[in-house]
Amino acid sequence: MARPKGDSSVTEARKQDILKAAFEVFSKNGYRGGSLSQVSEIVGITEAGILHHFKTKANLLIEVLAYRDELASEISGVTESSGLEFVTGWLNLIDYNISVPGIVELYCIVSAEATAADHPAHKYFQDRYEYVIGVTTASMQRIHDDGYMRKNLDPVDLGRAIVALSDGLQVQWLLDRKWDMIDEHKAFFRRILTDEGAKLTGLYIKEKVIA
């Protein structure tokens, strides 16, 4: 992408430093709980310096969220509707999230805050959920059409459910990490895939012993 006029590369690097620090702060304390002074301390700059680059605190948050979305797109190919590959892609995403608890915290806290209609990131999260659920639903539809889904399951229900399940499990995981978040997701996919589908994604278990 072309660099906007007037932004030297050193300026851009500075903005990246601030974004990284703001990301850290908002992850830990949320938007309302995080302050510009915390960010400035990490960067080694004054609060006025930060506002010079981002104008307002709300603006900074939005750019932090956009910054993270770029990262996420690189990590997994979940953005496309892709049948069975969706399953492994989604598991990869969870696996990545486990390695960066800060990101999980950021989304967990800020998405909850942003349910308030006057929150600066309200529209961002509305749009994001609509997009993500669209992708998951399309993938479920594709899995269904390919014949890898068990009988009598509704792809539309499942598209919403997988997003909800992941969000909910992440809250639980932030409060108590003494259980395997990947296993929980695998169990979900095992519930909805045919044996054939489970085999193709490496999730098949011949006989699961239930206590």
What residues make contact with a copy of itself under the rule CB under 8 A? 28-30, 32-33, 105, 108-109, 111-116, 122, 125-126, 129-130, 133, 141, 144, 152-157, 160-161, 163-169, 171-172, 174-176, 179, 183-184, 187-188, 190-192, 208, 210-211
Minimum Å distance from CB 103 to a copy of itself? 13
Pick one of DNA, a copy of itself, none as the site partner of residue 30 (Cβ within 5 to 8 A by kind).
a copy of itself
Minimum Å distance from CB 3 to a copy of itself? 34
- CB-based contacts of 62: which residues, under 8 Å, 6+ apart? 120, 121, 124
The SS3 call for residue 35 is coil
- CB-based contacts of 4: which residues, under 8 Å, 6+ apart? none
Pick one of a copy of itself, DNA, none as the site partner of residue 48 (Cβ within 5 to 8 A by kind).
DNA
Q: Applying CB under 7 A, does 49 fall inside the site for DNA? A: yes
Number of residues that bind DNA (CB under 7 A): 24
Q: Applying CB under 7 A, does 44 fall inside the site for DNA? A: yes
Minimum Å distance from CB 114 to DNA? 16
Minimum Å distance from CB 120 to a copy of itself? 12
* DSSP per residue, the chain: -PPPTT--HHHHHHHHHHHHHHHHHHHHHHHHH--HHHHHHHHTS-HHHHHHHHSSHHHHHHHHHHHHHHHHHHH--TTS--TTHHHHHHHHHHHHHHH-HHHHHHHHHHHHHTTSTTSTTHHHHHHHHHHHHHHHHHHHHHHHHTT-B-TT--HHHHHHHHHHHHHHHHHHHHH--SS-HHHHHHHHHHHHB-HHHHHHTT---S-PPP-
User: Are 165 and 176 in contact, with CB atoms under 8 Å apart?
Assistant: no
Minimum Å distance from CB 157 to a copy of itself? 4
Minimum Å distance from CB 38 to a copy of itself? 13
What mask of x and - would describe binding to DNA in positions 51 to 70, judged by CB under 7 A?
xxx-xxxx------------
Q: Which is nearer to a copy of itself, 51 or 161 (CB)?
A: 161
Using CB under 7 A, list all residues that contact DNA: 6-8, 10-11, 14, 34-38, 44-49, 51-53, 55-58
